[in-house]
Amino acid sequence: MISFFIACMRWMSGWPLSRVRAVGSALGWLLWCTARSRRHIVLTNLRLCMPDVSHAERLVLARAHFRLVGQSLMDRAWLWHAPESVVRSRLRWCGAPQVLEQAQPMVLFAPHFVGLDAGGAAVAMNAKQPVAFIYVTQTNPQLEAWVRQGRERWGGVKPYFRNEGVRKIIVGLKRGERLHLSPDMDLGPEDSIFVPFMGVTAATVPSLSRMTRLVGAKVVPVVTRLTAQGYDIEVGEPWNDFPSEDIHADTARMNALLAQYIAVDPAQYYWVHKRFKTRPEGEPGLY
């Protein structure tokens, strides 16, 4: 089954983008209709994070999110298999991409929008120094090999794995590697702290504050949004006065800035994740 899926993705890599996106929309509709548990997670997240939005509006937003998830999944066909010229033509830099050329330790804050893989590919394709990514291993070996090959397609990619700890990452940052970091998921109570996220207490890994403090790195936000032409990779200016001496304040600030990025187009954030599954002691579960 996995072999057939990968073969289909290779075949689709030569299709026009509009046709790939049509298949992605159909997949998103199918997921909306059949993935009841994920639909429940998305609607719960939207209810918690957007209490002032009506239920009808949240349903529209949730359906749009599933469509975008399906499209971003099918886009791996051309991101990981199409010629470089095709990939480059569908990735558009916005904001201040020249910041990435600065010669200083740098952590790229790349939150989990549906275009995360496209943004990572764009950064890796254009970087003049190695770019480090933190991966979670896939359970299926064949799927793992395909994902690794796709994400490491462009030269200079340095994969690190979450179970290896942070020592290698810190050493790499000191040597000049860029770190493409996505610390906006609930990874459980271990090493997490509780800070607000869109009005809800959320277990959040404070790795952005810790790593930048250890190496004196700048934080540069990189938000990737799916568009009709491909993806926009929006590079912001480095954050001022970050990190501070207060790791809780830093992490709360990260979540507050993330909420601003989400507000631009809420359907593009990765709502299918159980962002609030870890609760402070004594609080009931939310899902």
In total, the chain counts a number of residues equal to 287
Give every CB contact of residue 56 below 8 A, 6+ residues apart in sequence. Answer: none
Residue 106 in 3-state DSSP?
A: strand
Give every CB contact of residue 244 below 8 A, 6+ residues apart in sequence. Answer: 209, 250
pLDDT of residue 138: 82
Phi, psi torsion values for 195, nearest 5 degrees: -140, 165
In contact, 242 and 205? CB cutoff 8 Å:
no
Beta bridge partners of 204: 193
Residue 153 in 3-state DSSP?
A: coil
pLDDT of residue 272: 97
Q: What is the rounded (10 degree) CA torsion for 263, 265, 270, 271? A: 70
E strand spans, 18-139? 91-95, 106-109, 131-135
Closest CA relative to residue 72, chosen from 8, 117, 38, 123: 117
pLDDT of residue 102: 87
CB atoms within 10 A of CB 14: 13
pLDDT of residue 39: 97
Q: Going residue by residue through the chain (287 aa), what tens digit of pLDDT does each one get?
A: 899 999 999 999 999 999 999 999 999 999 999 999 999 999 999 999 999 999 999 999 999 999 999 999 999 999 999 999 999 999 999 999 999 998 888 999 999 999 999 999 999 999 888 899 988 888 888 999 999 899 999 888 888 877 777 888 888 898 888 999 999 999 999 889 999 999 999 999 999 999 999 999 999 999 999 999 999 999 999 999 999 999 999 999 999 999 999 999 999 999 999 999 999 999 999 99
Beta bridge partners of 193: 204
Residue 255 in 3-state DSSP?
A: helix
Helices (H) and strands (E) in the chain, counts: 11, 9
